[in-house]
Chain A
Amino acid sequence: MENKEKMETPELENETVQEEKIDVMKGIETLETRLIESEKKLAETQAELENTKGTFQRTLAEYNNYRKRTAKEKAETYNNGMVNAVTNILPVLDTLEMALNAPCTDENYKKGIELTLTTAKNALSNMGITEIDALDKEFDPNLHNAVMQESVEGVDAGICTKQFQKGYKLGERVIRHATVAVSC
């Protein structure tokens, strides 16, 4: 039928061709838009993927570091617990030492206190806890806490001249700093 029409009406045929052309053009246009849309979507998806990848990698890295740190912290946990417990007990030892140094006429009683202290010290040393050397040593803020300065004849500056409170260490870790007076 088309052929017939074409033959009969050449102008019309032209028109039809024109229309078809327009249709094709429209088709191409639609495809182009779709392509652009798809490309845009692809770019978006790729960007999102990159983003997700980044997030994933960062989270993974964070997790890895977290794991390493937790392993380290776990090893520390035992010591932390011990340090915490010991820190709370130390004032009792301080008091016992003060009791020992307090004037007392009952020598036998004093002896008892002394033995108690020895027992306590042994217990600490069994736990790996040692006293910090302070008296007559050079002042070191990593080990000592200065609360007073005094001038002592014949002593150079920067020496721990008095110890107010004993300091303790667990291995290299300071549990409590020795409280001292420092010469100037």
Chain B
Amino acid sequence: MSKIIGIDLGTTNSCVAVMEGGEAVVIANPEGNRTTPSVVGFSKSGERLIGQVAKRQAITNPEGTVSSIKREMGSNYKVTIDGKAYTPQEISAMILAKLKADAEAYLGETVTEAVITVPAYFNDAQRQATKDAGAIAGLNVKRIINEPTAAALAYGVDKEQDQKIMVYDLGGGTFDVSIIEMGDGVQEVLATAGNNRLGGDDFDNRIINWLAEEFRKETGIDLRNDKMAAQRLKEAAEKAKIELSGVMQTSINLPFITVDATGPKHLDMTLSRAKFDELTHDLVEKTMAPVRQALADSGLSVNELDKVLLVGGSTRIPAVQEAVKKFIGKDPFKGINPDECVALGAAIQGGVLGGDVKGILLLDVTPLSLGIETYGGVFTKIIERNTTIPTKKSQVFSTAVDNQPSVEVNVLQGEREMARDNKSLGIFNLDGIAPAPRGIPQIEVTFDIDANGIVSVSAKDLGTGKQQAITITSSSNMSKEDIEKAVREAEQYAEEDKKRREEVETKNQADSLVYQTDKVLKDLEGKISEGEVSDIKAKQEALRTALQGGVKTEIESKMTELEMALHSATEKLYAQAQQQANAGGAQGGYDAGAQQSNDGAYDADFKDVD
């Protein structure tokens, strides 16, 4: 059985998506774009051009180029090109056929079935026309669904109980607002309103006009009359608009934009988000009238709306989001690419119809990272979040003090750097470790998560073969909110946590160096001068004091001093050894740079259980 693709057949742009591995994904066209302009061109040579390529030749061939055909769907309108009349269905079919071919190229298999979306206000004739367009394109249209419903599906709203949702869809050239009710089997359009001549291009034009006006005031030259300059202005305006969704101001730089008698002219301006908002304020306001209208028609009050979803590229504009939020009194739902969410929802519907959605074995992922607590209260991750399960991973650790008889394994879940900020899932001890200097024993810790999310953690002393394990079933019991909270907090405290972790790591390093110094001094006994020994000992003591003080920079500087003293001592030793080697006998030396860990052992130690 072939896959059922989901198509958002838009007025300005169209998008196609499909279920893959239980997830909806957008299919990019061969040119690499995730949406395709809904434009059809008939070249003079009779070639049919669809999408971006049709757009590029539109100005040279206005009679042979059709755009926004969606506005005519279901009517008796016909376009006549080279003496042949085409219905809106036929033109739409050409767009659908391209999307179908792109999907086939992507999937590597034939596609015969599709779910296509239409605006909620489409009447029966318009829906039938859309279905016919699919048939002409060679697609069996399994279902026509409303765009707002598809958006809600993409957001997974259908999985919750009955709710009333407002979908605010500001696309490239049209604005629609719909109020729908959905939930267990219920799917009802309560009201729709809109403005079919309002979209992202209007926002671009405001920037272009502002730039051109400012430039004219400065130089007296109107860039809009210069095709070349106008083209560059248009590109720059679009770029500025996109940038202003992320930053508070952007610079628009167009060197050598034009030339007059006095020489070349450059355009160099800064557009702040505030200015942009001022320039486009009325456009945003224009969308609010249909919002009020739809709400009034639905008979609902603002408080009765459960959710607001934003669809369409222009809803990325912060002022638009702000206006919606202000009116509804709730944060609108974001997160899914607003250009793609309708197609994604259609693909999900296709997946449900094809049995894909529940048929496929849904592979789960670990919602949060898992790991153990190591020396100094650091959280060492063993399995990263979002790893697909089942999975198994091991790491080798060692002890933190000499003759440590046992290690404590504290199994943790979370994203924070320090153990105490994460959730402990269970603790167990592995004892009977043979007496050995710190860093020598090798303890292998293994995390094993099965397909049901059950975590088994085992610790094995590779020296003695002794093993201890624990099985945890509660890791999956965290609610979605808890998980989101954990991830959010990790981001929020990332800087702080990193600092704390670095502090601990510095301390661990210093602690290890103090310890190693004793060993080195023993090795060097009789090979270096008394003076050197006492110098090293003094620096070791200084580091010890610094460690107690706990100031990172202080520890670091004392550590460097001690390391240098050790290095110069060992260098001498090597020089001596060299001489002796020349004389016939070689002797090993100590490399002060080496960490305490043994071969292959991870240099993060367990904290001491005592």
A-B contact count (CB 8 A): 79
Contacts of A104 in B (CB 8 A): 263
- A65-B109 in contact given A59-B361, A144-B56, A145-B56 (Cβ < 8 Å): yes
- The answer to whether B359 touches A102 (Cβ under 8 A) is no
Interface members, chain B 3-24 (any A CB < 8 Å) = 20-21
- The answer to whether B359 touches A51 (Cβ under 8 A) is yes
B588 within 8 Å of A (CB atoms)? no
- The answer to whether A141 touches B57 (Cβ under 8 A) is yes
Interface flags for A140-169 (1: CB within 8 Å of B; 0: not) read 011011111100000000100000110000
- The answer to whether B359 touches A55 (Cβ under 8 A) is yes
- The answer to whether A102 touches B53 (Cβ under 8 A) is no
Contacts of B21 in A (CB 8 A): 59, 62, 66
Interface size class for chain B?
20 to 34
- The answer to whether B108 touches A68 (Cβ under 8 A) is yes
B54, B60, B228, B255: most-surrounded residue (chain A CB, <10 A): B60
A40 within 8 Å of B (CB atoms)? no
- The answer to whether A102 touches B264 (Cβ under 8 A) is yes
Give the distance in Å from the alpha carbon of A98 to the alpha carbon of B176 in the complex.
Answer: 43
Interface size class for chain A?
35 or more
Give the distance in Å from the alpha carbon of A146 to the alpha carbon of B55 in the complex.
Answer: 9
Interface of A is mostly: mixed
A103 within 8 Å of B (CB atoms)? yes
B200 within 8 Å of A (CB atoms)? no
Give the distance in Å from the alpha carbon of A144 to the alpha carbon of B356 in the complex.
Answer: 42
A58 within 8 Å of B (CB atoms)? yes
Give the distance in Å from the alpha carbon of A46 to the alpha carbon of B425 in the complex.
Answer: 41
Among the listed A69, A80, A102, A158, which residue makes an inter-chain contact with B106, where contact means beta carbons less than 8 Å apart? A69
How far in angstroms is the closest Cβ of chain B from A102?
4
Q: Looking across the interface, which residue of chain B has its beta carbon closest to that of A183?
A: B60
Among the listed A59, A68, A98, A149, which residue makes an inter-chain contact with B59, where contact means beta carbons less than 8 Å apart? A149
Q: Looking across the interface, which residue of chain A has its beta carbon closest to that of B229?
A: A164
- The answer to whether A99 touches B256 (Cβ under 8 A) is yes
Contacts of A58 in B (CB 8 A): 1, 356, 359-360
Q: Which residues of A contact B (CB under 8 A)?
A: 51, 54-55, 58-59, 61-62, 65-66, 68-69, 80, 95, 98-99, 102-104, 139, 141-142, 144-149, 158, 164-165, 177, 179, 181-182, 184
Sampled A-B contacts (29; CB under 8 Å):
A51-B359, A59-B361, A61-B109, A62-B21, A65-B108, A65-B109, A66-B21, A69-B106, A80-B32, A98-B256, A98-B264, A102-B256, A103-B259, A103-B263, A103-B264, A139-B57, A141-B41, A141-B54, A145-B56, A146-B56, A147-B59, A147-B227, A149-B59, A158-B60, A164-B231, A165-B232, A181-B227, A182-B60, A184-B60
Q: Which residues of B contact A (CB under 8 A)?
A: 1, 20-21, 32, 41, 43-44, 49, 53-54, 56-60, 106-109, 227-228, 231-232, 255-256, 259, 263-264, 356, 359-361
